[in-house]
Amino acid sequence: MDIITTSGIAVALAMDAFSVSIAAGLYIYKPFYRYYFRIAFHFGLFQCAMPIIGYFGGIAIEPIIKNFDHWIAFALLSFIGIRMIKGSFDTDGTAFNGDPSKGLTLILLSLATSIDALAVGLSLGVLQKPILLPSIIIGITCAVFSVFGVFLGKRASSLLGKKTELIGGIILIFIGIRIIISHMSN
C-alpha cells in the first residue's frame, strides 16, 4: 500500500481520537504534560494494535473471499465512514465521569476510538497488504492528533470536534472507492 493511502487511512482513523481529545481538553481545566502524554500514548497504542489484531483475521479468511475482497474492504471502510458521518451530527456529545486521562476511563476511550482500526486491519489482511508499517503510521498519527486535540480543546470550541468526525468519515469512504477503482483498473 502506498504512503498516501496509508496516511489517508491514518488521518481518517485519528479523527475519532482527535474529537475525543478535544473533548478531553475541554474537560480538564489545566492539562499538564503528563495529561497530554497519557492520552496520546494510549490512543496511539490502541490505534497501532487494533489493525494488527484485525489483520490476522483477514489473512485466515482470504482464500475463501479472494474474488470479492475489494468489495469487502469497500463495505467495511464505507460502513465506518458512514458511522463517523452520522456521529458528526449527534447532538448528545460525550460526557466524562472522571479524569479522561486516567484509569478505566482512559482505557475505554482508547478502545472506543480504535474499534474502527480493527476493521481497517481486517481489510488489509483480506487484501494481503503489509500491516506493520501501516499500523505504526496509524498509531503515531493518532498520538500526534491526540496531543493536538487536547491542545485545541483548551483553545477552540467544541463544534470543531464534530466537524473532524465528518471529515474522517468522508475520507474513509473515498479510500474505499479508491480501492474499488484500483481493483477494477487492474
Domain that holds residue 33: 3-185
Tally of domains in the chain: 1
Render pLDDT for 118-143 as a digit per residue (tens, 0 to 9): 888 988 888 888 999 999 999 999 99
> Cα angle vertex 116, ends 157, 95, to 5°?
40
Render pLDDT for 73-104 as a digit per residue (tens, 0 to 9): 788 888 877 877 887 777 665 433 456 778 88
pTM of the entire predicted model: 0.72
Residue from 121, 127, 150, 128 nearest 9 by CA: 121
Render pLDDT for 8-28 as a digit per residue (tens, 0 to 9): 999 999 988 888 887 777 666
